[in-house]
Chains A and B, each alone.
Chain A
Amino acid sequence: MEKSLELINQKIRDGNATVVTADRMPTLVDEIGEDRALNEVDVVTTGTFGAMCSSGAFLNFGHADPPIRMERVWLNEVEAYGGIAAVDTYIGATQQSTTLGEQYGGAHVMEDLVSGNMIELHGTSRGTDCYPRRTITTELVIDDLNQAIMVNPRNAYQRYNAATNSTDRTLYTYMGTLLPSYGNITFSGAGALSPLSNDPGFRTIGSGVPIFLCGSTGMIIGEGTQHSPAGGFGTLMVTGDMKEMHPEFLRAATMHQYGVTLYVGVGVAIPILDKELVRSTAIRDEDIVVDILDYGVPSRNRPSLRKITYAELKSGKVELNSEEVRISSLSSNRKAHDVACTLQDWIKKGKFQLALPTKRISTTKISRPMRETARVPRVRDIMNTNVVSISEDESIKTAARKLLRGDTNHLPVLDREGTVVGIVTTYDVSKAVVKEEKNQKVKDVMTIKVIKTVPDEHVDVAAQKLERYNISALPVVDERNHMVGMLTAIDLGKLFGKRWQK
């Protein structure tokens, strides 16, 4: 048996459609079976509420008098794109305030607009014959705008990999605060309640389909940027009228030391047309598997530590390297549920009609990495291989002599096998000399906790280490921790210019 969309929409108009939220579907199908579920359920509503950085809005302010063709635009001191006609702009969610930094950004401007708060528009122009005005500053609320149309290039990710941190320092990422030494795990996404999890074949999710977007009736434009459904990471590009949105379902946020982002509520209603859709909407958190990635590795290809399901993620803890690690979510499960319930309510009340895609979204695409035409320099390309080193038991005097003769400020300390066991600097040696203690050896003054790099590391990453630890040289070691060279701020300076010469 199959059902037509017309029939479902008729039932919605008549106020007798059966609508269930996606999290109810698995138990329902268990209880009554697929056939009866197809017969009885007309619509399954889904929802997600999480950080979606790739969001923004087109705004039109109407013409000023005398008119201006704004080339640069700021809203509450957050710069918006000025390359589209006279009084149009696109405000991106992650753009930060010129004065408040990560405490206020494009996402906050959007939340302020939707909340009915006043915002300040400032624009500049070089002035033309038809648009003579050069600056404008005015205060506006959303009702003063002709249009405030949200267009989010990449929303509603099907799923997200979870994050943890192997390093010995806290990382602040777009996946939140990651404590040192696998101190916690974070994840995002609503799992089985997520729109794309419920129709991975994109049969009912496609261009032109009406959706719940931040409290308004929005629409799917088509596939989102970086759409990668072949690997289970589909995305959607969506749009909606901000004048109809509600701050309950759109919240600006700041990920500490990462930046501004926007929490967006998205929900899709899936018509239950056939058994395949009964099955796909009966997905459980247990069925959705992702990787736990190590964000301590600063590379696009972060290693996976293990697989994990959304059911485990939502349980709050998991075993990793035979230790229990606590997990927390970044997106809101409660709000995701609110989205699905609100959409359910709209449909039950006949306020929301369904439509099938006017254009299907690809189910086979794989998002490609960036093609880079310039080779990114690695540590091996600029490191110094002619390194003067010292051993632990040598005297301070020998160290001083070597430092002078080697014309360097750092001596890596090696054991007999050539393993790096410490580092001594000109400063350590001078301090030892001032102390005047007898028979001081290198091992008494050296730093044991050595920050190191490897030949394959990207130069940018090594440079970050120097900056973070406020040091000026890094021993370069191979996989066995044997010394193969030194990288100094001076080497980096040659590459990057003065910035690295400490």
Chain B
Amino acid sequence: MLPRFELYQPTTLPEALGMLSETGGNVRPFAGGTNLIPDLRGGREQARKFVSLAGLDDLRFTRFANGRVEIGSLTTVSDLHRSHEVLRNAPALHASATAFAGHMVRCTATIAGNICYGSPSADLLPPLLSLDANVTLASAAGLRILPLSRFNLGYKQTALKPGEMMTQISWPQPARGTVQLFYKLGLRKGDAISVISAAVSLTLKQMVCTHARIALGSVAATVVRAERAEALLLGRELTEKLIGEAAELAADASAPIDDLRASKEYRLHTARVLVRRLLRQAAEGPGEAGSTRRSTEG
């Protein structure tokens, strides 16, 4: 049963920040509610005061200008999924939005909710991490900007301080010719929590790797970057042998657990498979934008 809770409904950001700070941090942001409502119902969420962000329309935007990409924190997953700009400029993020949940949830779930929930299976995180995204956190006291890699600290632990909320996510446009890919493995095609996911962002000049980011979801307490694999690729020609070694190192970067969805061994195996697959695809050239096991639809 859904417990009783209080929901404040501000219409401006300052008003929202005021509400978040007033009660000494006992109040939490409430965006799409697609994590919060099931958690409240299931007794996993103890907070009983929330500030609804639904009225803050200004925080729902996608901007591509001056070599930067800026996404408002209230942008929904289906906004990302429907955006041609996202498809063109951030194909891996687009692919993750396409593989995300099902139509109903995509229409409500927000990008910031996905990040701030702090789950290692959050689908938007591997692509965002592979893009070196920054997050902007606002409080009544002001703004601070943090690299996403320093935001998710542990399982459902984030760098958010009491009274703070996320307002935007941004990153520099990757160099031309950067290939961005994403793949999600779930136990079914729709509404699946990932068993494992991987995102790759790779810049190649004549097959030599000049920039590499590899991020893996559902293999550790947070989404992780395979930094040793990235370092291995840098400045080297992307051969089949190198791809194999990088895939091994990527698997080493993961510390998966056994759970209901899969065993640790299976996750290690598929971490290797997915990284190898995405790197091979990158070697084949940008070709189609992004990669997902599901085709893009309406």
State yes or no: do A and B come from one complex: no
